[in-house]
Every structure is written in C-alpha cells, then in structure tokens.
A and B are shown apart, each in its own frame.
Chain A
C-alpha cells in the first residue's frame, strides 16, 4: 500500500462538520482549506461531501476529516447522521444575508442535540470581503458567540482571509481538550489508537476551551 497515501501518517484524526444555511459558502471554505482553491462555479452540495487535510499542532500531526453538508433543511435527516462522532464544527453564516445568521440558533440546537457536549464549535461569518453588502455586524455575531460559548471568526473564502485560522483554531482547541484529557487520565496521548476518532471527553473540560476566539479586524 506504501505509495497509496502519503498523508497516512498522523497522530490524531479529528472529524469536523461544516454546517449552516444553503449558499453561505461552506463548500468553498472547505476547498480553500483543503486544496487552497476557490470556485465561482461551485455547485450545491447534495447530501454530504468531504475532504481531509493534515496540519501540525505543536509536535503532532492532526488529520482533519471535514464533512461538508447540504444546507437545505430537507437533507437534515441525512446530515444529522454525519454529526455522529464529530469533535468539531464550523457553523457558517453569510455576513451579507441576515437570515442565515438568524438561523444559526437552530443549527446550534441541532448540533448540540446530536453531538457530544464537548464538541468545539466555531461560529464563522463568511463572505466578509463583501464589505458594501454587510448585513450582520461583527459585534452582534461576537456577542452571540459569547452568549453561546462558541469561538468566532469572520472569513472570506474568496480572499482566503482567516480560513486557515478558523480551521486551525478549531483543530488546536480539539487537540487541547484531547491531550488535557489524556493527561488527566494519566495516559500518553501518543498511545491513543491511530485512525480512531477521538472522543473529546467529559463535561468538565468545557470551561477550559470555550472562550471566544479572535476575530477579523
């Protein structure tokens, strides 16, 4: 199998889901992060698609397996099946369409109903490059993220702004939860089974990670 997959070497595999209303730019955020590509010709996502990318966190290789989901409500039955085992989530809205921000609350509920309580969540306001069309203020989103104890960033998949940061931050936070938990349990984190999705542990870990992250200026 040797030649088949060069990025096979990783210490952790984290499953992350990308959710949010239709047309907010989830697929382009993913392609920007995984392949550094942005397409003006991207199509709607049918069901669930995915991509992977490995990054370094401290001295460890973290492989992110990112599942991109259809935004339309009708697909909810399928997409929620994919929440299973997710340890991180990017909840995306479009800063130029207020309704997509209003719906964030529903997405959050949905996410929390289907995942472990310790899941690392980042609220992402995408399309921040469209300054003249902005309909959601950074302050409002920040306040919401604070209230809900999620991280927050504004991004532009088109201009490649903060995309790397958003994903890296989520993965780093997951890593911290996992390694902290492993430490507390007296385990060597490196001894965790390879290729397994890591469960981010008990409720006690929450307070340690859920603080609002940085955001775009």
Chain B
C-alpha cells in the first residue's frame, strides 16, 4: 500500500517536537523520589510517554502527562505493562489534554464545574465570578493531574484508587470498544452491585451517556468546604488560589470523596427539579 510521505513526515516532525518536551519534563518529574534518581527509571518514564505520543496523535504529549504516568512507572516494573496501564488511564483523561489554538480540553470540565457550583451554591459562584474567577481556571491543575500537585505522592495515589473504584464500571471495556454488544437497559440489583458507588448512581438514573467525572464534583466539594473563607477573605483571584492551596497535606481522600458524592446528589436533585 502506498504511504503518503508528506503526512508521515509531518507526523515524525510533530513527534520529535513532543520528544524534546518530554525530555525537558521527565527530568523534573517527582525527582525528590529516590526511584527517579536511577536513570533507568527515568528512561522508562521517557519511553512510555514517547510511545504514547506516537500512537495518540491528537494528544501527543501535553505537560501534566508525566504527573499521571510517573506513579504507574513506579508501580509496574514491566515497561510494557506500565505502558498499557497508562494508555488505559489516558482513556479516562485524554479529553482534558486535547488542545487547539483556542482551547484546551480541560476547559470543558471547568465549564461543568462552573455549572455545578452555580446550581449547588449560586452564592459562591457569584462571588467567584465577581473576583474574575468565573472560568474556574484556578482549578485547572487539580483536574488535569488529579490533585497530584496539591497532595503528596501517596495521598494522591490513595485518592486515585478510591476515586476510580467509585467510578468503576464492570462494562468499561465495552464502553471503550463500540464493536462490543450494547448493554441491557435494565440492570438487576446483583448487576448494579458490581458498579462503583458513583457510577451506580449514574447508571440507576439512566444518565450514562455523557456524565461528569467524579473529579469535578470533588473540586466542587473542596470549594464548598472552603466556602466560608472564600466568601469572607478572598478579595482577588490570588486569594482564591492561596486558600485552595491550603489543602496540601490536609485533604482526607475518603472524606473528600464522600463529600463529593453529596455534592453530586444535591446537584442531581436540583437539576431534576428544574
């Protein structure tokens, strides 16, 4: 089969550009960890990101992906296993990293966040809007690298584990692969029990199509817990950022996620009413 050389060469050039960025970022990823003092481990991180950048040409490499990939490299000794694990994680997260000249994917999650806060706590939303924070860009990093910069390494991992368990869907593969059979519309209780807490609620209400990630509700719940301070003390966007940065080392993942579920419940019931 003839190959279009022009397209192929363009892909190679794009990839090489990504490689230089990956190189810049790999050396500054979690380098306080002993694990990454070993060059061979840094190389693994580089390999996985480089191969991913090649196969996912819409995304390539975007800063922040090292933060997602790094724990996986540590946990899975085998490089190929680590790659596929990362590839699966990216299926959940890749939309956030998709960028064009005018936007970056995570903005869609930020819009959802704005909508959620507007409905759950209009007062807080108005206040943030007045501070020129209506776009919630201050929450971008939390959503993009799933609290890795706010929490310690182990705390973030714990959070991911609980969060993904709550989002667990036993049919996750058929959701990814459209060639597989469609799911039955009605599920019995035994089937429902296999779902994660968060996902189960979504499946029950039938809102399965395009629903918001639990992470968005988690950010909303963090804002809620800091509400008093935000309303009283934040007189500028800089104060908002400062107040939110105080969660470092203080976020109990399990508690925070249960709060997030509450926010979700409130949101669902208010949406239903309107």
Q: Which residues of A contact B (CB under 8 A)?
A: 1, 4-5, 22-23, 41-50, 52, 65, 70-72, 74-78, 81-82, 195
Return chain B residues, CB-CB under 8 Å to A41.
28, 31-32
**How distant is the Cα of A43 from the Cα of B36 in the complex, in angstroms?**
13
Does A77 contact B21, Cβ atoms closer than 8 Å?
Answer: no
Does B140 contact A47, Cβ atoms closer than 8 Å?
Answer: yes
Return chain B residues, CB-CB under 8 Å to A52.
238
Does A43 contact B24, Cβ atoms closer than 8 Å?
Answer: no
Return chain A residues, CB-CB under 8 Å to B241.
49-50
Contact with A along B89-125 (1 / 0, CB 8 A): 0000000010111111001000000000000000000
* B66 part of interface (Cβ distance < 8 Å): yes
Return chain A residues, CB-CB under 8 Å to B273.
none
Does A76 contact B64, Cβ atoms closer than 8 Å?
Answer: no
Does B145 contact A46, Cβ atoms closer than 8 Å?
Answer: yes
> Assuming the A-B contacts A22-B21, A74-B99, are A46 and B104 also in contact, with contact meaning beta carbons closer than 8 angstroms in the complex?
no
Return chain A residues, CB-CB under 8 Å to B140.
46-48, 78
Return chain A residues, CB-CB under 8 Å to B21.
22, 72
Interchain nearest-CB distance for A25 vs B (Å): 11
* B252 part of interface (Cβ distance < 8 Å): no
Name the residue on B nearest A24 (C-beta).
B24
Return chain B residues, CB-CB under 8 Å to A81.
135, 137
Q: How many A-B residue pairs have CB under 8 A?
A: 79
User: Which 8 pairs of residues, A with B, have the shortest CB-CB distance?
Assistant: A47-B140, A46-B141, A23-B24, A74-B99, A72-B63, A46-B64, A44-B63, A74-B62
* B224 part of interface (Cβ distance < 8 Å): no
Q: Which of A1, A4, A43, A48 contacts B137 (CB 8 A)?
A: A48
Name the residue on B nearest A72 (C-beta).
B63
**How distant is the Cα of A43 from the Cα of B149 in the complex, in angstroms?**
9
Does A50 contact B66, Cβ atoms closer than 8 Å?
Answer: no
* B156 part of interface (Cβ distance < 8 Å): no
Return chain A residues, CB-CB under 8 Å to B137.
47-48, 78, 81-82
**How distant is the Cα of A71 from the Cα of B233 in the complex, in angstroms?**
31
**How distant is the Cα of A186 from the Cα of B99 in the complex, in angstroms?**
47
Interchain nearest-CB distance for B107 vs A (Å): 8
**How distant is the Cα of A81 from the Cα of B106 in the complex, in angstroms?**
14
Interchain nearest-CB distance for A157 vs B (Å): 14
Does B32 contact A47, Cβ atoms closer than 8 Å?
Answer: no
Does B238 contact A46, Cβ atoms closer than 8 Å?
Answer: no
Return chain A residues, CB-CB under 8 Å to B63.
22, 44-46, 70-72, 74-75
Does B101 contact A77, Cβ atoms closer than 8 Å?
Answer: yes
Does A195 contact B235, Cβ atoms closer than 8 Å?
Answer: yes
**How distant is the Cα of A77 from the Cα of B97 in the complex, in angstroms?**
12
* B29 part of interface (Cβ distance < 8 Å): yes
**How distant is the Cα of A23 from the Cα of B107 in the complex, in angstroms?**
24
> Assuming the A-B contacts A74-B62, A195-B235, are A44 and B144 also in contact, with contact meaning beta carbons closer than 8 angstroms in the complex?
no
Return chain B residues, CB-CB under 8 Å to A42.
28
Interchain nearest-CB distance for B233 vs A (Å): 5
Return chain B residues, CB-CB under 8 Å to A47.
137, 140-141, 144
Q: Which of A23, A46, A72, A77 contacts B144 (CB 8 A)?
A: A46
**How distant is the Cα of A164 from the Cα of B233 in the complex, in angstroms?**
29
Does A43 contact B101, Cβ atoms closer than 8 Å?
Answer: no
Quick one: which of A5, A43, A75 has the most chain B CB within 10 A? A43
> Can you name 11 A-B pairs with beta carbons within 8 Å?
A1-B232, A22-B21, A43-B28, A46-B63, A47-B141, A50-B241, A76-B101, A77-B100, A78-B107, A78-B137, A81-B135
